[in-house]
Amino acid sequence: MHSPYYDEQAVQREVAAGRHREAIGGLWDALGELQLRFLKDQGLQPRHKLLDLGCGALRFGVKAVDCVDPGNYFGVDLSASLIEAGYLRELSESQRAKLPRSHLHSSPDFDLSFLPGKVDFAIAQSLFTHMPLNHIRRCLSQLAPKLDNGGVFFATAWLVPDDWDMATPFTQPGTLDGDPIISFDVRDPYHYKLQDFQYIVTGLPYRLRLLGDWGHPRGQPMLAFERV
């Protein structure tokens, strides 16, 4: 079952009602700041080029655009309407001057041909949690030639223990609006074993590491895909 994010008409209704922040899961300030602190701890510098996969309405972008040199932030998302809402409603005029509109791209299949060159860092916060495994494989495959050697792609995912029966729903450590988060194998939100990610990077130029807890308010652990 596809994620509700694939229903662009529903997303457009949320945007039209002024709920673009809620449409991407809320926690606007908390998650934007968390991603920025995390990437700085991982070595992000103003000179680095940064790609935000699943950038949505720029929850992270509104923070990141001021922390990298002008023109060094890029974003891609399934929803054109979320991108437009973020660009027009969340960014200040001075921030838009630092972020050309052409640096934000809508694509259903991770088309990254809009990038003018390679990036040093990429991040996908709560993207893989809404995607089937082959979509994740497509993302990693499309990104590989656009990530500079030694660059790192950070992505969160819902994980289950190695000995878990994948068909059995799993109660994750975090909560959503006070309710437990239950993940599934064939519907959103999706869960995976670490070995699933090890499998899909076979033949791709990545070194996979599990970073684990990075302070996510809903408990999503972090994976690192280093370009080698």
Q: Domain containing 221 — which CATH number? A: 3.40.50.150
Q: Pick the more confident residue, 4 or 56.
A: 56
Task: Indicate whether 181 pLDDT > 90.
Answer: yes
Which candidate, 163, 68, 190, 197, places its Cα nearest to that of 121? 68
Q: What is the mean pLDDT of residues 27-31?
A: 84
Q: What letter does residue 22 receive in the DSSP assignment?
A: H
What is the model's pLDDT at position 205? 98
Task: Indicate whether 118 pLDDT > 60.
Answer: yes
Task: Indicate whether 1 pLDDT > 50.
Answer: no
Q: What is the pTM of this model?
A: 0.94
Q: Please tell me the distance from the alpha carbon of residue 43 to that of residue 65, in angstroms, as a whole number.
A: 16
Structural domain boundaries enclosing 134: 4-227
In the chain, what percentage of residues exceed pLDDT 70?
A: 97
Q: pLDDT tier at 136 (50, 70, 90 boundaries)?
A: very high
Taking only the tens place, the pLDDT of each residue in 66-84 is 999 999 999 999 999 999 9
Task: Indicate whether 189 pLDDT > 90.
Answer: yes
Helix (H, G, I), strand (E, B) or coil at 200: helix
Adjacent-strand bridge partners of 159: 192
Longest dimension (CA), the chain: 51
When divided into structural domains, the chain yields a total of 1
Buried b or exposed e, range 10-44, using 16+ CB within 10 angstroms: ebbebbeeeebbebbbebbeebbebbbebbeeeeb
Q: Please tell me the distance from the alpha carbon of residue 35 to that of residue 186, in angstroms, as a whole number.
A: 28
What is the model's pLDDT at position 2? 62
Give the torsion sign (CA, 71, 73, 78, 79): negative
